[in-house]
Structure 1
Amino acid sequence: MERIEHRACFGGWQDVYRHESKVLGCTMKFAVYLPPQAANGKLPVLYWLSGLTCSEQNFITKAGAQRYAAEHGVVIVAPDTSPRGEQVMDDDGYDLGQGAGFYLNATEQPWATHYRMFDYVADELPALVEAHFPVGDARAISGHSMGGHGALVVALRNPGRYRSVSAFSPIVAPSKVPWGEKAFGAYLGEDRQAWKQWDASELVRSATEKLPLLVDQGGDDEFLDTQLRPQLLQAAAVAAGHPLQLRMRPGYDHSYYFIASFIGEHIAHHAAALHGEAKVHAGVAHEPHDGCGRH
């Protein structure tokens, strides 16, 4: 493992590392923010998963999260969004291939050789982080868009592993929207039953752990009605009695301006669970009065 970036930030360090991933069969990069408290012992860790076309750079340069991580004493780890390299299969479109791993384990060739982002995020990366950085086993996970989908799915499929989960503008029902249908068809094949294990709106129906879900969604998001459709997750949560707080934010779009506006609230939410300061709670989902889940 090689450190390739090292910058002082809010009293701590924003670093980027490069390593060889056995799971993905390629060289990967991930970012680590170590707040000043890391000099004195182990801290809890928040994993951030970014969206389509992103790398480890987008979140650390645009979200402004380091300020809040330093305030709350939380390490932030932000991996890349897919396997990378000349030997890794790619596609001409932005929504499939490199930059679009969808945080699942592909079963169809030629994708299955490298595209195992679920195993990377859930197992290989945390093992690496916990072996080499001052973090304990208190974990949280969050993400945006495709990464919001990833955060919800990784948490729902790993009961007991995370103390909290949140998402910005997540693709909550990828098996029912164009982005997900394209990616799932390529990575997983045409059996739509197999897609359900990677779809948060399906996973909440049988979740054994009622981990509260926190979702922020911009009301003016250009992808709201075609790709995101948060009402599908809300309906599934209502039916399952799964705790969900869906906050519609009028005027906000899909960009990092939206994330930067509310990332402080999300980090505070995770810090409360990670440090045991208070019980993190998201109320049981209720049918929205206006069809959009606005609170």
Structure 2
Amino acid sequence: MERIEHRACFGGWQDVYRHRSTVLGCDMHVAVYLPPQAALEAVPVLYWLSGLTCTEQNFITKAGAQRYAAEHGLALVAPDTSPRGEDVADAEAYDLGKGAGFYLNATVAPWSQHYRMYDYVVDELPALIEAHCPVTDARAISGHSMGGHGALIIALKNPGRYRSVSAFSPIVAPSRVPWGEKAFSAYLGDDRGAWKAYDATELVKTAGEKLPLLIDQGDADEFLHTQLRPDLLKTEADAAGHPMILRMQPSYDHSYYFVASFIGEHIKCHAAALRGR
């Protein structure tokens, strides 16, 4: 891991690393915030997955999360949202290709060569972070929009791997909304049966662990009724007896102003789960 940014922040350090990803076949950037407690002991980790068009920079510069991570003694790890590089397939659209990895393993060419963000986030990245940073294997996961989708499906598909999960404005039913249908058709092909493996509304029906889901959603979000549809996940979670808290927040939209307003509450919840309180 090559450190390319190193900045003091709330008594800790906000770093950005570059590393070669074997899974993705390209160089990747990942942001790592280490709180002041990490100078004395290994600390738990909250993984953050960002949304469409984002890089590792959006969360660390806009969410204000470092303040709360320092307060609760958590590391924050925020990877890029897709593979990058001149030989990585792309599309002339913000919602497909670079910046739009959707946290799945693509099976259709040309995407299948590099777009394996699911394996990267679940396996390769934690192994790298735990080998090179003063962190424990106590993990939580969260994200926004496309990243909220990623956090939910990764937690639901990996019982025992994460101690808590939350999401802001997540795409909960990608098989049934335009963003997901476009991406899944390209990355996974036309067999909608294969899409179910990356759809939270399907996974919650048979999840091997009933890890509580915490979701914040702004009721003034411009994508609420067309792309996000949290009501669909709430219906399936209730039917499956899966604990879920859906908080509709009045007047908030899809932006990082929304994330910044509630990230402190999410980090507090994750800290309690990670430290067994």
Same fold (TM over 0.5): yes
1:43 maps to what in 2?
43
Q: How far apart in 2 are the matches of 1:62 and 1:204?
A: 31
Structure 2: runs of 5 or more not aligned:
none
Asked whether 1:137 is paired with 2:137, we answer yes
Amino acid at match of 1:151: A
Instruction: Indicate the RMSD between aligned Cα atoms, in angstroms.
Output: 0.3
Shift of 1:208: 1.2
Aligned pairs (5 A) from 1:98-117: 98-117=98-117
Structure 1 residues 156-210: Cα deviation after superposition (integer angstroms, max 9, x where no partner): 1100000000000000000000000000000000000000010001000000100
Shift of 1:124: 0.1
2:80 maps to what in 1?
80
Structure 1 residues 208-236: Cα deviation after superposition (integer angstroms, max 9, x where no partner): 10000000000000000000000000010
1:52 maps to what in 2?
52
Structure 1 residues 240-290: Cα deviation after superposition (integer angstroms, max 9, x where no partner): 00000000001000000000000000000000000112xxxxxxxxxxxxx
Q: How far apart in 2 are the matches of 1:46 and 1:75?
A: 6
Q: How far apart in 1 are the matches of 2:225 and 2:4?
A: 40
1:160 maps to what in 2?
160
2:148 maps to what in 1?
148
Q: How far apart in 2 are the matches of 1:110 and 1:276?
A: 44
Structure 1 residues 127-180: Cα deviation after superposition (integer angstroms, max 9, x where no partner): 000000011110000000000000001101100000000000000000000000
Q: How far apart in 2 are the matches of 1:113 and 1:236?
A: 34
Amino acid at match of 2:55: S
Asked whether 1:254 is paired with 2:257, we answer no
Amino acid at match of 1:110: P
Aligned pairs (5 A) from 1:1-295: 1-277=1-277
Moved over 6 A (4+): none
Shift of 1:78: 0.1
Count of residue pairs brought into register by the alignment: 277
Q: How far apart in 1 are the matches of 2:272 and 2:91?
A: 41
Shift of 1:238: 1.0
Secondary structure, counterpart of 2:162 in structure 1: coil
Amino acid at match of 2:93: G
Q: How far apart in 1 are the matches of 2:4 and 2:238?
A: 46
Q: How far apart in 1 are the matches of 2:268 and 2:160?
A: 20
Secondary structure, counterpart of 2:100 in structure 1: coil
Structure 1 residues 78-135: Cα deviation after superposition (integer angstroms, max 9, x where no partner): 0000000000000000000000000000000000000000000000000000000011
Q: How far apart in 2 are the matches of 1:91 and 1:207?
A: 34
Q: How far apart in 2 are the matches of 1:274 and 1:152?
A: 17
Q: How far apart in 2 are the matches of 1:209 and 1:69?
A: 26
Amino acid at match of 2:209: E
Q: How far apart in 1 are the matches of 2:125 and 2:137?
A: 13
Secondary structure, counterpart of 1:23 in structure 2: coil
